[in-house]
Amino acid sequence: MVPLVYRFLKQRDIIHLKLLMIILMSCIPDRIELCSNHFKAAPKVPSHFSSSNVPFSLETLSLDGHFSFENNQYAANDFGNMHHFLPSAVLHPKSVYDISTTVKHIFHMGSGSEFTVAARGHGHSLQGQAQAHRGVVINMESLKEQEIKVFTGERPYAEVSGGHLWINILHETLRYGLTPKSWTDYLYLTVGGTLSYAGISGQAFKHGPQINNVYQLEVVTGKGDVVTCSEEQNADLFFAVLGGLGQFGIITRARISLEVAPKMVKWIRVLYSDFSTFSQDQEHLIASRNSFDYIEGFVIINRTGLLNNWRSSFNPKDPSRASQFSSDGRTLYCLEMALYYDDNNMTQKTERLLSELNFIPSTLFLSEVSYLDFLNRVHISEIKLREKGLWEVPHPWLNLLIPKSKINSFAKEVFGNMLNHSTNGPILIYPVNKSKWNNRTSLVTPDEDIMYLVAFLSSAIPSSTGKDGLNHILTQNKRILQYCATAHLGTKQYLPHYSTQEEWRAHFGSKWRVFLNRKSAYDPLAILAPGQKIFQKAIPLRDT
């Protein structure tokens, strides 16, 4: 997902960052009640439960790492900054044994305890998914000290901890001239986090999401068992965990598929004033066999002086014509593309591909950067936002997967009628080919072969009037979701968040029963990922 425009827009327009990020999903049998708490309601603790007894029992465990029982407020925060549930303890594991021992201990406490466990990566959840009210949060980054092992050969791969950041994996694999195939736009996310969602970006049309580029996993289940799984070994758990919202196990190690890394990137942006032409060109590119290596797009609502802000970093093809272009008061659609190369700069291929498109000629902007700088482009925006104190604001993002057949109707209603100049943040939109995705994972997508990712990446920034705009954005998101439902568009949420059983059942559709059975098998007490609010810890199922 790709907010590549951030550092080229005015300061008020770069307030958002795209992470598509990437973290958890869930399930369990009919006998376990689904959580129906609304988004700021903390789970109630029954009178017979004494949280003061829990830290003592945890202190008796023999671990390589340690627990912290005080000053854990950071574990009640995340990037979304809208949910804040304080845990009783935070585990800082130094080994997989630490995680297994802790989960097994809580499992054996039984259903009489409401103690739960949440794995926390780099804290980029949006809706409190990595939080555990009065439970245990596992700081997965404590595992990142484990060595990244790169294996070369005909089928190269990297063995990495679930707590490693993708940026560290990139640096290490580049030392061998290799790189993972599929990415998120933001690299400061953990492996376990993105694999628990999907991991989508501009390479997904070509390689599929990150969950399609994994050979093997090591997982700690909700019973505390450590299981190695792949397509050939313990396949049901393997596919359950991928895109499983953390509901079936904690990813402690992954074997990531690699390919030969390019050195340079030709980075291109063009603009459209007509959505239909814009979407047709995107679909044409992802269907081509010899296309760009990266394709994304975004919507620009009523932005002023757009090209002047881009010109500092991107060179226009024709400066004189570009200077005459005005974006004032217009809704524009930006197509963003990248072509990877080594010694040959791919000029002829670039010109051939561009000649097949129907963008506004005067808006062709080009740049050439290193492969590393291109993949890590969003981090520059993060640094600027942190300096301005704008990183820790609420991020009520909404991410949707929309069938190709419905995208024009969606664009006409949402971009044409619902959104206006008050929309403050990138709106990403680009198609992916589902033939590159494995339908055996827990990820739920629309039924059609081509679908669009549409991400509304708004931030609730305090205004001069003292209003943070959060309610306005939440209301806008609700209107969009209501429209999708009443118009029967067949959309699915990416990074889903619901509060009722009916909504979760509707989200999973035909996969709900499989999801439920997997929860029963791998986390029968509903210990894992309580922040997803799919299940509540309840009466255990009969041990089979």
Beta bridge partners of 288: none
- The token duo for 404 is 């190709």
- The token duo for 17 is 């960052």
HSE-up of residue 450 (Cα within 13 Å, Cβ side) = 15
Is 296 annotated as catalytic? yes
Handedness of CA 396, 401, 21, 364 (dihedral sign): negative
Q: Which residues in 269-281 are b (16+ Cβ under 10 Å) and which e?
A: bbbbeebebbbeb
The residue from 78, 114, 281, 296 that is catalytic is 296
Complete DSSP assignment for 328-395: TT-EEEEEEEEEEESSS--HHHHHHHHHT----GGG-EEEEEEHHHHHTHHHHHHHHHHHTT-SSS--
Question: How many Cβ atoms sit within 10 Å of the Cβ of residue 175?
Answer: 10
The answer to whether 350 and 357 have CB atoms below 8 angstroms apart is no
Q: Helices 512-522 and 501-508: crossing angle, nearest 10°? A: 110
Residue among 61, 145, 72 nearest 102 (CA):
61
Residue among 422, 524, 523, 509 nearest 468 (CA):
422
- Dump strand ranges (E) for 140-231: 149-151, 157-161, 178-180, 214-221, 226-230
The residue from 98, 141, 185, 336 that is catalytic is 185
The residue from 16, 83, 124, 497 that is catalytic is 124
The answer to whether 366 and 373 have CB atoms below 8 angstroms apart is no
Is 413 annotated as catalytic? no
**Rg of the chain over CA atoms, in angstroms?**
23
- The token duo for 277 is 């032409």
Is 185 annotated as catalytic? yes
At 221, give phi and psi (nearest 5°). -75, 175
- The token duo for 160 is 């990495």
- The token duo for 367 is 């740049």
The three-state secondary structure class of 254 is strand
By annotation, the residues acting in catalysis are 124, 185, 296
